[in-house]
């Protein structure tokens, strides 16, 4: 083994072998990081109001979420919505790292964006991920390379929490951004794979609903549409792209423009439409 690989292996081993001590870090109104033994994890009180990501650093066992029993393993990930509580079996050997994404100004994303532009995007990405989880709760990612990357980055965060060099807040934030991006990418791939099982008439129903609402000059609320059809925005976009060649929002924009032209020219809108 060459010197570079040997040094890297030694560094990683130091992280892995480091005694596990409770450690906390908070970036005010952005995110909170807690590293601890699982039996001391405050998953039900202090951070209950936030979206949370729990990464299993070491150990395996079972947990209950929404009255269902799941198994967790080393390098597994658990996603929790605000108010959602998880109950682990009494396993004092399991070690975890929890990242809580502060909900401050979550109800008004534009204010959140103005308050903290970079973090707001990370928050929204994780919020959307939690609203449409396609990843297995408590299990490592299926993509081995991405699973190893996230494992390495969480161990780096663990090391930074213990050492706390002057640069550690910036490093932790950047690492969390990367972790969320990797998780979202893997979740999207899962949604893409599952989209093929959606019934074709679902897309046709969405198209008819949109056309009817727009022809009646009604405002389209994406959130209401998603609730009505029990579908995530990512899945809806995939369906619309396959059926019309346009994303959900682009379809609405184009149909509005075509509808305006058809009324001005007094012709049927279908004569302007080049949708599939």
CA distances from 204 to 123, 149, 165, 225 (A): 32, 40, 56, 13
pTM for the whole thing? 0.63
- Do 188 and 237 lie in a common domain? no
Q: Within this chain, do residues 137 and 223 fall inside the same structural domain, yes or no?
A: no
pLDDT of 261 above 90: no
Task: Spell out the alpha helix ranges (H) of 54-143.
Answer: 109-115, 117-131
The rounded distance, in Å, linking the Cα atoms of 247 and 226 is 14
Say how far apart CA 116 and CA 30 lie, in whole Å: 8
Residues 170 and 94 placed together within one structural domain of the fold:
yes
Of 12-21, 25-34, 226-235, the range with the lowest mean pLDDT is 12-21
Say whether both 177 and 240 belong to one domain.
Answer: no
Q: Torsions phi, psi of 26, nearest 5?
A: -130, 125
Q: Are residue 43 and residue 178 in the same domain, yes or no?
A: yes
- Cα 34 to Cα 99: distance, rounded to the nearest angstrom: 7
pLDDT of 235 above 50: yes
Q: Which of 161, 195, 229 is where one domain is finished?
A: 195
CATH of the domain at 94: 2.60.120.10
Give yes or no: residues 114 and 235 share one domain: no
- Mean pLDDT in residue range 157-164: 85
Q: Are 52 and 101 in contact (CB under 8 A)?
A: yes
pLDDT band, very low/low/confident/very high, at 182 (cuts 50, 70, 90):
very high
Question: What is the Cα–Cα distance from 86 to 79, expressed in whole angstroms?
Answer: 10
Percent of the chain predicted with pLDDT > 90: 30
Same domain membership, residue 215 and residue 173: no
Q: Tell me the backbone φ, ψ of residue 31, rounded to 5 degrees.
A: -150, 165
Flag whether 276 is in a domain.
no
Which among 195, 218, 239 is the end of a domain?
195
Return the closest-CA partner of residue 38 out of 163, 138, 159, 171.
138
Residue of 226, 149, 153, 157 lying closest to 185 (CA atoms): 149
Q: Which of 152, 128, 131, 132 is nearest to 140 (CA)?
A: 152
**Do 191 and 232 meet the contact criterion of CB atoms below 8 Å apart?**
yes
Q: Tell me the backbone φ, ψ of residue 40, rounded to 5 degrees.
A: -105, 5
Instruction: Tell whether 155 and 97 lie within a shared domain.
Output: yes
Residue 248 lies in a domain: yes
What one-character-per-residue DSSP string does 221-248 give?
-HHHHHHHTT--HHHHHHHHHHHHSS-H
| 23 and 127 share one domain | yes
d(C-alpha 73, C-alpha 84), whole Å:
20
State whether 118 and 243 are in the same domain. no
> How high is the pLDDT of residue 197?
47
- How many domains, in total, are found in the chain? 2
Question: CA 20: distance to chain centroid?
Answer: 27
Domain boundary among 177, 195, 213: 195
């Amino acid at each position: 083994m060459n010197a570079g690989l040997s040094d890297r292996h030694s560094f990683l081993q130091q992280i892995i072998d480091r005694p596990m001590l409770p450690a906390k870090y908070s970036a005010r109104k952005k995110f909170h990081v807690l590293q601890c033994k699982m039996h001391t994890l405050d998953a039900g009180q202090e951070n209950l109001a936030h979206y949370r990501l729990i990464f299993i650093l070491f150990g395996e066992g079972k947990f209950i979420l929404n009255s269902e029993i799941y198994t967790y393993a080393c390098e597994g990930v658990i996603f929790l919505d605000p108010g959602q509580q998880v109950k682990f079996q009494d396993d004092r050997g399991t070690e975890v790292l929890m990242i809580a994404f502060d909900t401050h100004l979550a109800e008004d994303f534009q204010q959140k964006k103005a308050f903290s532009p970079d973090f707001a995007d990370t928050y929204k990405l994780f919020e959307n991920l939690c609203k449409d989880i396609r990843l297995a709760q408590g299990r490592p990612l299926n993509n081995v390379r991405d699973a190893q990357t996230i494992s390495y980055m969480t161990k780096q965060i663990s090391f930074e929490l213990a050492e706390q060099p002057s640069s550690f807040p910036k490093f932790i934030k950047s690492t969390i951004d990367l972790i969320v991006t990797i998780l979202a990418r893997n979740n999207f791939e899962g949604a893409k794979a599952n989209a093929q099982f959606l019934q074709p008439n679902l897309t046709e129903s969405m198209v008819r609903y949109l056309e009817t609402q727009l022809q009646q000059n009604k405002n389209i609320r994406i959130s209401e549409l998603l609730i009505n059809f029990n579908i995530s925005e990512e899945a809806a976009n995939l369906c619309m792209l396959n059926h019309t060649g346009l994303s959900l929002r682009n379809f609405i924009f184009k149909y509005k423009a075509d509808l305006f032209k058809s009324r001005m020219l007094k012709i049927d809108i279908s004569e302007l439409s080049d949708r599939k």
